[in-house]
Structure 1
Amino acid sequence: MKHLIIYAHPNAASLNQLFKQTIEETLRRQKYEVVVRDLYQLNFDPVLSLEDMDGQRSGRVSEAIRREQEHIVWADAVTFIYPIWWTGMPAIMKGYIDRVFSYGFAYRYDNGIQKGLLAGKAAFIINSHGKSKIEYQEIGMDNALKLTSDKGIYTYCGFDVKRHFFFDRADRATAETIEVWKTEIVDAYAMW
């Protein structure tokens, strides 16, 4: 099994980094092939340019984007790890999606009907955020995030979303809570 991890957090000591390490170790123990694309380490350019847009319309992408697309094609499953900032993903992750999930690669329209071209690939989403789950539920943010990312991006492009984790109050998590979260993650990947 081939598993791609797309990771976006600038702090090497972050909770998200711990999640990435936990997932990578879990997958390797299960004898999966694992590739990690750390967008900050790669200094990935998130800016969708006019040249990108013109190229997408004609099926041309830059070599850097083609390389990222090749990683996605290679993978049976993709894990996206990023914090929720300002009720959304970090700009570098959004830019990755804007540029890499291009028309003709991730989706297309057949006779006006949208078709996800990444069908057959599993997706896992790992998010941390500062608010509590109760606060997110009360304002509907949990459902809004699932709608905009799970449905609006990943499912739209054909991914089969297996799990979407929201780890709340991440900036105040205790060591015990973090261990519980790690166990939840390990269990989700073991069951897949």
Structure 2
Amino acid sequence: MNHLVVYAHPNPESFNHAILETVVESLQGKGHEVTVRDLYAIGLDPVLRFDGKGEASQEVITEQELISKADAITFIYPIWWTGMPAILKGYIDRVYSYGFAYQYNAEGGIDKLLSGKKGLIINTHGTPKEIYDSIGMTEALIKTATTGVFEFCGIESVGHLTFGSVPSVDDTARKEMLEEIRKKVNSLFE
């Protein structure tokens, strides 16, 4: 299986990077092909610009080609101000574009052009998970990213994992989170 992992965190020493390493090691350990797109490391330009021509840049075409080849797509990113990092939002705005990821059909419906792919999202945040759950934020995050991005384009969601209190828990708790991720990835992608 061909996996595309889209990673959005600027700190290579972050817990999100440990999540990235866990996901990649788990998938490669099962013989899967994995391509990682570290949006900060590649210097992705997140700004959608109108050039009047409607043509995709080479940067966008490269990302779209990687998506087209992928059987599964995983997003790994922190929640900042109750949303995804701007660089990831810009990636989605530019890469998951009309005519590539979706289009309107003659009946007024939406053609989901990325059907047949699986999608997993893994998030971290500083707020305790119980608080996000109780105020509806966890549900909102799932709706905006899983439903609003993946499912809108036809990508079948196989999970959306959220981990709270990441900056304040101890290393034992973080190791347990990584083990949960390892088990989930291993069970989802045989």
Q: Which residue of 2 aligns with 1:76?
A: 71
Deviation of 1:173 (Å): 2.2
Where structure 1 has 5 or more consecutive residues not aligned to the other structure, the ranges are: none
Structure 2 counterpart SS, 1:156: helix
Q: Which residue of 2 aligns with 1:176?
A: 172
Query: Could you tell me which amino acid in structure 1 is paired with residue 48 of structure 2?
Result: L
Structure 1 counterpart SS, 2:42: coil
* Superposed counterparts of 1:7-156, under 5 Å: 7-51=7-51, 54-55=53-54, 60-111=55-106, 112-156=108-152
Higher mean C-alpha deviation, range 92-101 or range 131-140: 131-140
TM-score, normalised via structure 2 length:
0.96
Q: Is the 8 A contact 1:80 1:124 kept in 2?
A: yes
Q: Is the 8 A contact 1:115 1:156 kept in 2?
A: no
Deviation of 1:9 (Å): 0.3
Q: Is the 8 A contact 1:7 1:36 kept in 2?
A: yes
Identity %: 46
Give the alignment partner of residue 161 of structure 2, picking from 156, 161, 165: 165
In 2, Cα distance between the equivalents of 1:8 and 1:125? 12
* CA RMSD, 1 decimal: 1.0
In 2, Cα distance between the equivalents of 1:173 and 1:79? 25
In 2, Cα distance between the equivalents of 1:54 and 1:118? 24
- How many residues matched? 187
Structure 2 counterpart SS, 1:171: coil
Runs of 4+ in 1 over 3 A off after TM superposition: none
Deviation of 1:54 (Å): 4.9
In 2, Cα distance between the equivalents of 1:173 and 1:80? 23
TM-score, normalised via structure 1 length:
0.95
Q: Is the 8 A contact 1:76 1:121 kept in 2?
A: yes
In 2, Cα distance between the equivalents of 1:184 and 1:117? 31
Query: Could you tell me which amino acid in structure 2 is paired with residue 175 of structure 1?
Result: D
Query: Could you tell me which amino acid in structure 2 is paired with residue 137 of structure 1?
Result: D
Query: Could you tell me which amino acid in structure 2 is paired with residue 45 of structure 1?
Result: D
In 2, Cα distance between the equivalents of 1:150 and 1:31? 26
